[in-house]
């Protein structure tokens, strides 16, 4: 019996030792694979890299309808400069003439954009730097990477994995030639734990460093960047200086955004500012909010302001103008509060599907309380009324911005709430645009078609001065059509 007990303990010890050696060897193998890839690619010598060519960028979350890819912007010249030591990145672009029939949202990116990383820069905002082959190898070497083998599309890969600061896995697919063919990870978006990947192919030697001549980045399976690289410079001075003021992620910041405030537009009707505006309407059996934009933080602020203006009533409905993420990003928060979404019928199945996706990287209120998702729809028209207030909802016909773009009209108050059809200039007396925006024309055509008697326009993208926006401004923007 004693002999058997000793034998059992020896077996356990041997298994534990073998397991310990396996993990040690595995860790050593990962370091060797990273070192071999870095040497083959010349990544160890890369302090800065600048690659240039042509590209197409796609506006994430701005699809024309739920079944469409992210809409494209084409650039005949496209240059990215990355300084891995800073770390920082600059993108310089020269755009092609925009396609006048382009469908979907998103502003065409400007000629230059900078990203400067600091201690407060969220990991997802840094990914454009670290998802590059050289950035990935740098991060993998600095973290406790693991190793496995995987076959994808008939090709065998060594997959190197580490855990990012946002707790998501980062996987790098390294081929037998020691080139990094793909880097993938996950970030939190309106789509939950969202796949973010970059694939690299057509490697060529530039100054002793292997550089991919084809780069494709994707989010949620649709491309966000497709680039053809024709030239690359290694370790040239990057000269990426911090912006003088404001700036994007890691760029110095401009302070916290202003808190919510409200204006009473009529009895029981409140405009909630700033930035992405919302309207709160006091209905007999609850509050109706028109637009739940941006994020959980903005939606929470809108809800708090609405309850201050209209106390002791639940949020019954949130009306969604369209499915673009900047206009729908707060909807989950309203659902968590028990509100029902009213949106165009094209969005119902889409919202029900994506709101069920996991949010493990950054659990929001809906992920925590798991409230039921209730979605009601409109086609071309729907009317909400309690005898005192009436809200007429109309689909904006002919919109190239979004297939299910909805505007809300309050006939008694003569107020129209619209999103992205007319974004007024910062100053009311700004000169009319040299070229008329077709979306402005479409909005005016719809107002005339429906014979709406509009005095006040509430654009969701509200002008920063908080002024009252009138039909006169829209007519001025459209120019000669003002008499129609």
Note whether 343 and 324 are within 8 A (CB): no
- Amino acid 434: pLDDT: 84
Beta pairing partners, 417: 408, 458
Beta pairing partners, 72: 58
Tokens in use for 373?
């998702």
What domains does the chain contain, in order, with CATH numbers? 33-234 (2.50.20), 261-483 (3.60.15.10)
Tokens in use for 357?
């996706």
Burial 220-237 (b: 16+ CB within 10 A, else e): beebbbbbebeebbbeee
- Amino acid 98: pLDDT: 87
Alpha helices in 46-158 (DSSP H): 123-130, 133-142
CA gap 72, 106 in Å, rounded: 9
Let me know the angle formed at the C-alpha of 169 by 165 and 172, rounded to the nearest 5 degrees: 115
CB contact set of 36 (below 8 Å; sequence gap of 6+) = 178
Let me know the angle formed at the C-alpha of 295 by 250 and 282, rounded to the nearest 5 degrees: 145
- Amino acid 243: pLDDT: 65
What three-state secondary structure class fits 436? coil
Residue in 73, 67, 61, 79 with CA at minimum distance from that of residue 107: 73
pLDDT (tens digit, 0 to 9) for every residue of the chain, 484 residues total? 444 455 444 444 444 444 433 343 345 599 999 999 999 999 999 999 999 999 999 999 999 999 999 999 999 999 999 999 999 999 999 999 989 899 999 999 999 999 999 989 999 999 999 999 999 999 999 999 999 999 999 999 999 999 999 999 999 999 999 999 999 999 999 999 999 999 999 999 999 999 999 999 999 999 999 999 999 999 999 999 876 544 333 333 334 456 678 999 999 999 999 889 999 999 999 999 999 999 999 999 999 999 999 999 999 999 999 999 999 999 999 999 999 999 999 999 999 999 999 999 999 999 999 999 999 999 999 999 999 999 999 999 999 999 999 999 999 999 999 999 999 999 888 888 888 999 999 999 999 999 999 999 999 999 999 999 999 999 999 985 444 4
């Amino acid at each position: 019996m004693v002999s058997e007990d000793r034998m059992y303990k020896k077996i356990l010890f041997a298994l534990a030792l073998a397991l310990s050696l396996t993990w040690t060897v595995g860790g050593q193998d990962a370091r060797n694979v990273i070192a071999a890839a870095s040497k083959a690619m010349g990544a160890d010598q890369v302090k800065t890299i600048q690659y240039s060519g042509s590209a197409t960028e796609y506006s994430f979350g701005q699809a024309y309808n739920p079944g469409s890819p992210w809409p494209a912007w084409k650039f005949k010249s496209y240059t990215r400069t990355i300084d891995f030591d800073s770390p920082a990145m600059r993108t310089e672009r020269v755009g092609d003439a925009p396609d006048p029939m382009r469908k979907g949202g998103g502003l065409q990116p400007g000629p230059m954009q900078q990203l400067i990383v600091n201690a407060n820069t969220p990991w997802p905002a840094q990914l454009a730097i670290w998802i590059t082959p050289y950035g990935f190898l740098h991060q993998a070497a600095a973290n406790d990477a693991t190793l496995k083998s995987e076959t994808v599309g008939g090709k065998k890969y060594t997959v190197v994995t580490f855990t990012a600061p946002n707790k998501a896995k980062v996987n790098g697919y390294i081929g037998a030639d020691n080139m990094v063919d793909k880097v993938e990870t996950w970030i939190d978006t309106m789509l939950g734990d969202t796949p973010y990947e970059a694939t690299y192919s057509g490697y060529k030697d530039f100054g002793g460093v292997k550089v991919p001549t084809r780069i494709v980045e994707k989010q949620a399976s649709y491309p966000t960047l497709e680039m053809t690289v024709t030239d690359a410079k290694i370790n040239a001075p990057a000269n990426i200086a911090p912006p003088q003021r404001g700036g994007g992620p890691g760029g110095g910041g401009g302070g916290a955004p202003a808190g919510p405030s409200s204006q009473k537009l009529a009895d029981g009707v409140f405009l909630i500012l700033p930035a992405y505006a919302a309207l709160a309407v006091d209905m007999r059996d609850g509050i109706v909010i028109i637009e739940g934009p941006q994020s959980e933080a903005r939606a929470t602020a809108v809800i708090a302001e609405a309850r201050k203006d209209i106390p002791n009533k639940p949020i019954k409905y949130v009306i969604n103008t369209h499915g673009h993420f900047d206009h729908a990003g707060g909807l989950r928060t309203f659902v968590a509060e028990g509100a029902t979404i009213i949106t165009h019928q094209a969005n119902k199945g889409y919202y029900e599907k994506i709101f069920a996706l996991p949010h493990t990287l950054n659990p929001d209120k809906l992920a925590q309380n798991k409230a039921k998702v209730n979605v009601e729809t409109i086609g071309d028209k729907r009317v909400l009324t309690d005898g005192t207030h009436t809200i007429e909802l109309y689909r904006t016909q002919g919109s190239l911005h979004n297939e299910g773009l909805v505007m809300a009209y309050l006939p008694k108050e003569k107020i129209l709430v619209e999103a992205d059809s007319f974004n007024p200039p910062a100053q009311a007396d700004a000169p009319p645009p040299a070229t008329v925006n077709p979306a402005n024309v479409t909005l005016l055509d719809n107002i005339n078609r429906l014979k709406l008697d509009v005095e006040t326009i509430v654009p969701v993208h509200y002008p920063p001065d908080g002024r009252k926006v009138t039909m006169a401004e829209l007519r001025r923007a459209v120019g000669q059509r003002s008499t129609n």
